Amino acid sequence: LSRDLAEAAHAEDGGRMWSVTLRTDARWHDGAAVTANDVLATWKALANDGSSETRRNLTDVAGVVSVEAKGSTVRFNLSHPFPELPDILTEMAVLPAHVIESGPGAIEEHPIGAGPFKFLGRAGNTFTMAPHAAWHGGAVRPPSLLVKIIEDDRERGRALARGVIDA
């Protein structure tokens, strides 16, 4: 759960329950509001992913046993007090419920987020991004962004040395 989506987080019940209040001005790239239900849907998807390191950190380390959503508030119920939960939640990339609940692979088919740049398209290993005009953080620069995946270390080093890419 990115810190920029949360307005506040506080512990209750001696640290065994955490309430996170979401920003009300955060929007997905398709214009839908970011809600506590998105966090809950993301949690459910993580809970079913046995290979997720984020799930392991939330359940095994932090002791999250359940998550509840109501309005703009998400409650994380823990098996034991865990004061570092807000830090662990920064590992949780919140996904839009209206996309992920439409089926497996839906987020890959319709990649949207709530960050400063939105996905425009892909050509091979190059992704084109543009500013998210409704981003709650204000004006976004630069006017466009190309993300190129270069898997080979040597090729990546040569491209960096030639000034073809920025690190």
Give percent of the chain with pLDDT exceeding 70. 98
Residue 75 predicted with pLDDT over 90? yes
* Residue 2, pLDDT score: 54
pTM over 0.75: yes
Under the banding of pLDDT at 50, 70 and 90, the label for residue 25 is very high
Query: Mean pLDDT in the chain?
Result: 89
Considering only CA atoms, which of 130, 114, 125 is closest in space to residue 148? 125
Spatial contact of 68 and 12, defined as CB atoms under 8 Å apart? no
Between the alpha carbon of residue 97 and those of residues 18, 37, 58, the distances in Å are 21, 7, 19
Residue 3 predicted with pLDDT over 70? no
pLDDT digits 0-9 by tens, 28-61:
999 999 999 999 998 888 877 777 787 787 787 7
Tell me the mean pLDDT in the region 110-128: 92
* Residue 87, pLDDT score: 87
* Residue 11, pLDDT score: 95
